[in-house]
Amino acid sequence: MKMTYILKYTFSFCLLFSMFLGHAQETSTTTIAKETTKQKPKTPTAKPEIQEVKPDSIKTDRYGLRVGVDLYKLTRGFYDKDYKGVEFTGDFRLTKKYYLAAELGFEDKTTDDDRLNSTATGTYIKGGFDYNLYQNWLDMENLITIGMRGGFSTFSQQLNTYKIYNPNPYWGEQPPVVDGQKFNGLTAGWIEVVMGVKAKVFNNVFVGFGVQLKMLVANAKPSGFDNLYIPGFNRTYDGSFGIGFNYTVSYFIPIYKKKVIIPEIVKPTPKK
């Protein structure tokens, strides 16, 4: 019993790291797995067939709500004095492959650039869906997802200090100017493409990692300044692109179950 537990655990971590190493191989196996599933709906069209199939090949898919927290944001506050933040994540399994997903967070970040020092504080909400590309064996519930989100943030920015750029410093470089001006009521909206992995490490506990590519669609800039950091979007660049990632620990709350018949072809090495 304990062995299977460890086995599951190691497998879950292998899955997690497969995102980094040998990704091409990982995806190719998933596509093969997908092809086998395509055949699946054809066989169990008629309901009475369920009784004919051996009990081994009946799999129950659990549906429910998964809630979690981003450990990266949470722990960053301990070692980075310029950062305070938290992000709660949640997803709800809609169908076999689709999950409704959302994130809710708060960030307080001081950006210290060469010439500018500013603090952005605010909350954000992101909502969208995840599509699970991973074909699970037996009762495993791991996920390799690709999804989309729409994000919206409402925040304020404070310009702490700035330096004057003077290409001709005949009179010497002026020390940083302390400003302290605060810009309230700022908003920004963006779209994200999210790629993620979630591995089940204990009964209902998942560990996940996700990367986000973001594109700003709306950005209310303060007059006489710029949004250097947008909570939820992270730092801004000259264009509208942004990136982000999270490292989550989440708990799955099962709500209901659905039975799925596994076709005979899929019979991997017996685990139990």
Q: Any contact of residue 156 with another protein (CB under 8 A)?
A: no
CB of 38 to another protein, least distance (A): 13
Q: Any contact of residue 24 with another protein (CB under 8 A)?
A: yes
Q: Whole-angstrom Cα distance, residue 69 to residue 247? A: 8
Backbone angles phi, psi at 3, to 5 degrees: -60, -45
Q: Which of 166, 182, 202, 255 binds another protein (CB under 8 A)?
A: 166
Q: Whole-angstrom Cα distance, residue 213 to residue 244? A: 7
Q: Any contact of residue 21 with another protein (CB under 8 A)?
A: no
Sequence-ordered list of residues with C-beta below 8 angstroms from that of 67, at least 6 positions apart, any chain: 88, 89, 90, 250, 251, 253
For another protein, the closer of residues 16 and 69 by Cβ is 16
| 103-120 burial code (b ≥16 CB/10 A, e <16) | bebbbbbbbeeeebbbbb
Q: Is 155 exposed, middle or buried (0-12, 13-18, 19+ CB in 10 A)?
A: buried
Q: What is the CA radius of gyration of the chain?
A: 24
Q: Which of 38, 42, 180, 238 binds another protein (CB under 8 A)?
A: 238
Q: Any contact of residue 52 with another protein (CB under 8 A)?
A: no
Q: Any contact of residue 226 with another protein (CB under 8 A)?
A: yes
Nearest to 147 by CA among 170, 129, 169, 161: 129
CB of 22 to another protein, least distance (A): 12
Could you tell me how far CA 182 lies from the centroid of its own chain?
31
Q: Any contact of residue 6 with another protein (CB under 8 A)?
A: no
Count of residues in the chain: 272
Q: Any contact of residue 96 with another protein (CB under 8 A)?
A: no
Backbone angles phi, psi at 198, to 5 degrees: -135, 125
Q: Any contact of residue 195 with another protein (CB under 8 A)?
A: yes
Q: Which stretch binds another protein (CB under 8 A): 53-61, 110-118, 201-209, 262-270?
A: 110-118
Q: Any contact of residue 25 with another protein (CB under 8 A)?
A: no
Q: Any contact of residue 35 with another protein (CB under 8 A)?
A: no
Q: Which of 48, 55, 185, 224 binds another protein (CB under 8 A)?
A: 224
Q: Any contact of residue 114 with another protein (CB under 8 A)?
A: yes
CB of 112 to another protein, least distance (A): 12
